[in-house]
Amino acid sequence: MNAPATKNFRTDKFDFWSFFFSGLTGLATLFIIGILAVILGNIVWNGWTGISWHFVSTIPTKDFFDVKTTGVLPMIVGTAFRVIVMTIFVIPVGVITAIYLTEYASNTSIITRIIRAAVNNLAGVPSIVFGLFGLGFFINFVGKNMDAVLHNTSAVWGQPALIWASLTLAVMTLPVVIVATEESLKAIPPGLREASLALGATKLETILKIVLPQALPGIMTGGILAVSRAAGEVAPILFTGVAYYMASLPSHLSDQFMDLGYHVFVLSTQSPNIEQTRPILYATVLVLLMLTFALNIVAILIRARVRKKLRAMH
């Protein structure tokens, strides 16, 4: 074979389609980043002047449409509370469900298929429907019955409350946690389970000592996604716990609470003077974004610690 010695592998041909599609994907990416930049830029630009220590640490006692007397402390506390209480409920229930589905249930059984279909459908239900479900089930059924059993003369549990809003959000975010946990459980090599069982471990010992520690970062990813989704949701809490105005911070699970997302809605629809309220509105949205961001950062930091521990393996 006498190939020409000067032959190199360059080509002068311009590959139009290759150029076109790589350009297209690049443009699409830029477009997404652009939208995000416009939204965040607009909020930060217009909102940061409204944020002060006074703004985030004040419980408004008079007119919260007025720049001088307004504050968002109860909304920050309410939003943070409902997200934390939700996390406490959704993680165990979601993780246990996922463990049942991946480790115990037979994939071919009808019950498993029904549960999986239910989980998938749950993820597709509009959030306002969850709100109505929370009102009907948690407040009117569970809460009212609790009052009856506890012989409360006036409604304590049978009314909108922090706990019911959190539980409604927990039901809404359940699929996120279940799916994330299932994925992380499936990603664990079957060889590890076999090794543990072959040493005479029971299934439960294998799950608790080998499988779950490995799946922890994945489970926490599910938690992070659930927190992100829940923090900004308003519809599920509309009938189940959020208040237009409260003079004090919530101190009990049966208290109602104020909420940043709902407050944004109130500010933009109920204000007597839209121009005057606009800086407050921007600042409140910015606070909501920062709170969501902060909750995520905390969860991500914890996950990073767990990962590091797993990598150090001891």
Partner 1 sequence: MTDTLMPKLSVNANDPGAVAGSPFIEIENLSLYYGASKALKNISLNLDEKVVTAFIGPSGCGKSTLLRCLNRMNDLIDGVRIEGSMKIGGYNINAKDVDVIELRKRVGMVFQKSNPFPKSIYENVAYGLRLHGVKAKSDLDARIEQSLQGAALWDEVKDRLHTSALGLSGGQQQRLCIARAIAIRPEIILMDEPASALDPIATARIEDLILELKKEFTIVIVTHNMQQAARISDRTAFFYIGELVEFGPTVKIFTNPAQKRTEDYVSGRFG
Q: How far apart are CA 257 and CA 261, in angstroms?
A: 12
Find all residues with CB under 8 Å of 49, minimum gap 6, and list them.
279, 283
Site string for partner 1, 108-147 (x = CB under 8 A): x---------------------------------------
Rounded (10°) CA dihedral 136, 137, 140, 146: -170
For the CB of residue 227, give the shortest distance to partner 1 in the complex, in Å. Answer: 27
Residue 257 has phi, psi (to 5 degrees) of -150, 160
For the CB of residue 184, give the shortest distance to partner 1 in the complex, in Å. Answer: 14
Site string for partner 1, 186-225 (x = CB under 8 A): ---x-xx-xxxxxxxxx--x---xx---x-----------
Cα first-last separation, the chain: 60
Q: Which is nearer to partner 1, 4 or 189 (CB)?
A: 189
Q: Which is nearer to partner 1, 162 or 216 (CB)?
A: 216
Q: Which of residues 292-311 bind partner 1 (CB under 8 A)?
A: 310-311
Q: How far apart are CA 146 and CA 160, in angstroms?
A: 14
For the CB of residue 312, give the shortest distance to partner 1 in the complex, in Å. Answer: 7
Q: How far apart are CA 87 and CA 173, in angstroms?
A: 9
Helix (H, G, I), strand (E, B) or coil at 257: strand
Q: Are 54 and 265 in contact (CB under 8 A)?
A: no
For the CB of residue 223, give the shortest distance to partner 1 in the complex, in Å. Answer: 22
Q: Which is nearer to partner 1, 211 or 285 (CB)?
A: 211
Q: Does 25 bind partner 1 (CB under 8 A)?
A: no
Q: Which is nearer to partner 1, 113 or 209 (CB)?
A: 209
Q: Which of residues 83-112 bind partner 1 (CB under 8 A)?
A: 106-108
Q: Are 131 and 239 in contact (CB under 8 A)?
A: yes
Where on the chain is the footprint of partner 1 (CB under 8 A)? Answer: 106-108, 189, 191-192, 194-202, 205, 209-210, 214, 310-314
